[in-house]
């Protein structure tokens, strides 16, 4: 897919990774619309990119559908969707607050899926890129609920990819621990010992490679090869 001239919606553009992707596709010549939960940060990103903004918390599925439809109307269509939303929680599974567990699944699984569901009717011939995590492949102690929510998202994307293969290409991005501030915004607990972080810029570059590669369906971490587009 050619990025220059593409109509792109980045959901979660107020986060470190979503913001970096929005800036990169904008610099590559795309027409970008952005969403985020933080109104002030969203305004700043919109002004920087001269992009229409849509305040959105993906937990509200009805509003998500409305906001996606509004963004598509403003853009005049949709060629590329990027979903970069997520929130972690840490600690032993047996000690998890049920309210925290519900929020983790609402944001990471149900909310992300809701965005894709709302966008799919507008993405005929387009691409949906969804940020999951390596935890979908490698569930981690001290991050049980977060791991399970990301695994649920990946399973959902796999099924929807099969349903939509003739209309929309779906790319599941599952990076390792990154040098973003995601852990600092955890809903609960302290993170376990984590590996040396990967530069988020490597994920951004891999996402663009995956968008341009018409056969790519995932960006995943390989212990020998690093971040792989396939």
Condensed to tens digits (0 to 9), the pLDDT of residues 138-175 reads 999 999 999 999 999 999 999 999 999 889 999 999 99
Q: Which option is the CATH number for 7-229: 3.40.30.10, 3.40.50.720, 3.40.1620.10, 3.90.600.10? A: 3.40.50.720
Tens of pLDDT, residue by residue over 96-108, are 999 999 999 999 9
Residue 182 pLDDT exceeds 90? no
pLDDT of residue 87: 96
Mean pLDDT of the chain: 97
Percent pLDDT > 90 in the chain is: 95
Tens of pLDDT, residue by residue over 22-51, are 999 999 999 999 999 999 999 999 999 999
C-alpha distances in Å from residue 215, one per residue of 37, 168, 180: 33, 12, 29
Q: Where are the domains of the chain?
A: 7-229
Tokens representing 172 are 């599941």
């Amino acid at each position: 897919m050619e990025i220059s001239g593409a109509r792109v919606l980045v959901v979660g553009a107020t986060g470190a990774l979503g913001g970096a992707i929005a800036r990169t596709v904008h610099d590559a010549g795309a027409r970008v619309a952005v969403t985020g939960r933080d109104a002030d940060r969203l305004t700043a990103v919109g002004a920087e990119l001269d992009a229409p903004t849509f305040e959105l918390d993906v937990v509200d599925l009805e509003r998500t559908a409305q906001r996606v439809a509004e963004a598509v109307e403003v853009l005049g269509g949709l060629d590329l969707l990027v979903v970069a939303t997520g929130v972690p929680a840490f600690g032993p599974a047996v000690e998890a607050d049920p309210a925290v567990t519900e929020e983790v699944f609402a944001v990471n699984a149900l909310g992300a899926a809701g965005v894709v569901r709302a966008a799919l009717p507008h993405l005929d011939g387009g691409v949906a890129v969804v940020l999951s995590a390596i935890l979908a492949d490698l569930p981690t102690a001290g991050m049980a609920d977060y791991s399970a929510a990301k695994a649920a998202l990946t399973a959902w994307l796999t099924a929807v990819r099969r349903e939509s293969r003739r209309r929309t290409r779906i790319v599941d991005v599952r990076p390792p621990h990154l040098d973003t501030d995601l852990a600092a915004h955890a809903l609960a607990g302290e993170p376990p010992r984590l590996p040396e972080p990967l530069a988020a810029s490597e994920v951004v570059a891999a996402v663009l490679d995956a968008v341009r590669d018409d056969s790519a369906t995932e960006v995943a971490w390989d212990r020998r090869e690093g971040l792989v587009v396939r």
